[in-house]
A and B are shown apart, each in its own frame.
Chain A
Amino acid sequence: MKPTAYILSDNMISSLGFSTQEHITAFRKGQSGISTYNTLDSSFFVSKVNEQRKKEEWAKLNVQEEYTNLEQLFILSISKTLENTGINPQSKDTLFILSSTKGNIEALSQSNNANAFLGKMAKNVGKYFNLSYQPQVISTACISGTLACVFANRYIRSGRYKHVIVSGGDIISDFTLSGFNSFKALGTTSCKPFDKNRDGVNLGEGVGTILFSSKKRAQGNNIYIGGGASSNDANHISGPSRTGDGLFLTIKKAMEQAGLSSNDLGYISAHGTATPYNDEMEAKAFHLAQLQDVPLNSFKGYFGHTLGAAGILESIGGIQSLLHNELYPSPGFEEIGVSQTVPVIKEHKEKQMNHILKTASGFGGCNSSIIFSKE
């Protein structure tokens, strides 16, 4: 029997707070953290971490050394995740994986741009935890976070590691805002995933961390990874597939690995960026996988597209749904706006579930899916 990757602990940091619990409270109310932000002579709808709150949280750690804004968020999220777990990140049977798309990209504005290297960022974060090894970094566009969880499962199942700490993060920067804006991919209001009036993505910042372990939680209520996969559309570097076949392939492989059929899934935490093409592609993939009746939401309406953190934050959101047997509404959604209809969750409600799916897709044509199951 191969070991199983159980979730021991997690943490979410975004505009909605610095703990998973604060996020659940907001999800139950359908409360979004998206607001306007002025930069580059324009106004953008984004989700920003509260600066004052971050200063207070950081001060509690009483750190003398200098860390960048994103490194501080990583350190806070990982510290909170490890609290009371008894897991020592320095031990040889523990692996650290960080996921990020742009890391400390703002360091390009500084005379010494060494911090702009993702490996340097990982080393800085690792230094705080006195790691003797360098954390691995996965940087695979918007599937980075989901893929980090998929690899965590594989590392644990293979018996190579007993514990894997997966932490994903990205921040709001002029770099990403100007880039997505040049693509005309940014929404002109709070984003509306799967809605007929959706017109683009809101960028968000945050960090999500999950501690996976081959050991179960002593207090019960165990959730584990059932399966996961990634793929490439082999179609276009910046546009989603017109058929959804690449994403469908990952759903199919993840379900096969988990030994599940479409009837077994209770809920989908979709990528749902609120761009016209992404949501259309995703709906097609769900139909191909015969998941057209499974309720779904997109957490982008709560805290925007957090890039390298998205797959982890949105997995934790889904895991909490599964754990508490409840569905969280998808903010910004009013009327279905994809050609093949899917049941987008409009209000907070109870639902008994045993398995859920998290999907992600990104530039470069990449896709990833992961299934979380209740023991």
Chain B
Amino acid sequence: MNHNLNITASCRIRDGKVYLNNKEVFNGESSEDFPAFIKSAYQNLGLKYGKFHKMDSLSKLGFIASEYIFSEMDVGSLDKENTAIVLANSSSSLDTDIRHHNSIKDASNFYPSPAVFVYTLPNIVMGEICIKNKIQGENAFFIFDEFNAQTLIEPIEILFEETETKACLGGWVEFLEGKYEAFLFFIEKESNKGKLAFNVPNMNQLYL
């Protein structure tokens, strides 16, 4: 199907490195763990955003990937009501679910925290990205066993076909027990910026 949909930016975060549009833009391999690494990426972006420090790991990961993508764009010029976010992963919010679960499993040491519980949903990361950038378009979070370009492309194509969506931040954002991976991309209709068609081969190329 010809949609004239193009990938106008992409960001991959994996193994302590950040790639923007397939080029390494930050190397944080020397960080000893994920919290240290993601904080160094935050500093690398030159961000001053207090809410970042309250986020759980999944939200921090997705948020930083989105900030790299938006760092080279004029976010203010987006049609905010028609910019969508569609994300997916395999472990939902299980990393934070386990934290909440551990806080309630012992009746004599019972300490559930609302600040933890709110992150026991995978779509909170989309909320964080929307708040930062004032994005109000379509929101959907899907769960797939593993990254699969085709299953991720389908719901995004459908948004462009069946709604007034003009642009979409899509991708894969996965965090569980210290293991992480983010692959976010920005899709626009008939954009002149870097014509890279939104299709399975191009997605797989960028994901590699």
**Chain A residues near B67 (CB, 8 Å)?**
none
**Chain A residues near B6 (CB, 8 Å)?**
none
Chain B 130-169, CB-CB to A under 8 Å as 1, else 0, gives 1101111111111111000001001100110111100000
Given contacts A119-B144, A158-B162, A174-B104, contact A231 B92 (CB under 8 A): no
- Verify B121–A101 contact, CB threshold 8 A: yes
- Verify B92–A117 contact, CB threshold 8 A: yes
Most B CB within 10 A of own CB, among A137, A157, A235: A137
- In the assembled complex, A151 has its CB within 8 A of some CB on chain B: yes
Question: A102, A160, A236, A364: which contacts B123 (Cβ < 8 A)?
Answer: A364
- In the assembled complex, A246 has its CB within 8 A of some CB on chain B: yes
- Verify A234–B164 contact, CB threshold 8 A: no
Min CB gap A288→B, angstroms: 14
Given contacts A253-B163, A364-B127, contact A138 B140 (CB under 8 A): yes
- Verify A234–B131 contact, CB threshold 8 A: yes
**Chain B residues near A174 (CB, 8 Å)?**
104
- Verify A178–B104 contact, CB threshold 8 A: yes
- In the assembled complex, B105 has its CB within 8 A of some CB on chain A: yes
Question: A122, A158, A234, A362: which contacts B158 (Cβ < 8 A)?
Answer: A158
Most B CB within 10 A of own CB, among A134, A237, A366: A237
Min CB gap B141→A, angstroms: 5
- Verify A175–B142 contact, CB threshold 8 A: no
**Chain A residues near B113 (CB, 8 Å)?**
182
Min CB gap B94→A, angstroms: 6
Binds A, one of B11-19, B38-46, B95-103: B95-103
- In the assembled complex, B124 has its CB within 8 A of some CB on chain A: yes
Min CB gap A118→B, angstroms: 4
Minimum CB distance partner of A257 in chain B? B163
- Verify B143–A139 contact, CB threshold 8 A: yes
- Verify B136–A234 contact, CB threshold 8 A: yes
Q: Size band of the B side of the interface?
A: 35 or more
- Verify B161–A158 contact, CB threshold 8 A: yes
- In the assembled complex, B187 has its CB within 8 A of some CB on chain A: no
Most A CB within 10 A of own CB, among B80, B121, B164: B121
- In the assembled complex, A105 has its CB within 8 A of some CB on chain B: yes
- In the assembled complex, A316 has its CB within 8 A of some CB on chain B: no
- In the assembled complex, A141 has its CB within 8 A of some CB on chain B: yes
Q: How far is the CA of A232 from the CA of B107 in the complex (A)?
A: 37
- In the assembled complex, B120 has its CB within 8 A of some CB on chain A: yes
Minimum CB distance partner of A245 in chain B? B136
- Verify B142–A136 contact, CB threshold 8 A: yes
- Verify B142–A365 contact, CB threshold 8 A: no
- Verify A41–B92 contact, CB threshold 8 A: no
Q: How far is the CA of A193 from the CA of B135 in the complex (A)?
A: 29
Min CB gap B167→A, angstroms: 14
Minimum CB distance partner of A138 in chain B? B142
B contact set with A: CB distance below 8 Å = 80-81, 85, 90-92, 94, 97-98, 100-101, 104-105, 107, 110, 112-114, 117-118, 120-124, 126-128, 130-131, 133-145, 151, 154-155, 158-159, 161-164
**Nearest 5 Cβ contacts at the A-B interface:** A364-B127, A179-B117, A137-B143, A232-B130, A182-B112
A contact set with B: CB distance below 8 Å = 40-41, 101-103, 105, 108-109, 116-119, 122-123, 134, 136-141, 143, 147, 151, 153-155, 157-158, 160, 174-175, 178-183, 229-238, 246, 249, 253, 257, 362-366
30 residue pairs of the A-B complex, CB under 8 angstroms, read A40-B104, A41-B107, A103-B92, A105-B97, A105-B101, A116-B94, A117-B92, A134-B144, A136-B144, A137-B143, A137-B144, A138-B143, A155-B158, A157-B162, A178-B110, A183-B114, A183-B118, A229-B163, A232-B136, A234-B130, A234-B131, A234-B133, A237-B118, A237-B124, A237-B131, A238-B118, A249-B136, A362-B121, A363-B124, A366-B123
Given contacts A118-B143, A175-B100, 19 further A-B pairs with CB under 8 A are A103-B92, A109-B105, A119-B145, A122-B143, A136-B144, A139-B122, A147-B140, A153-B162, A160-B154, A175-B101, A175-B120, A179-B100, A234-B131, A235-B131, A257-B163, A362-B121, A363-B127, A364-B124, A364-B127
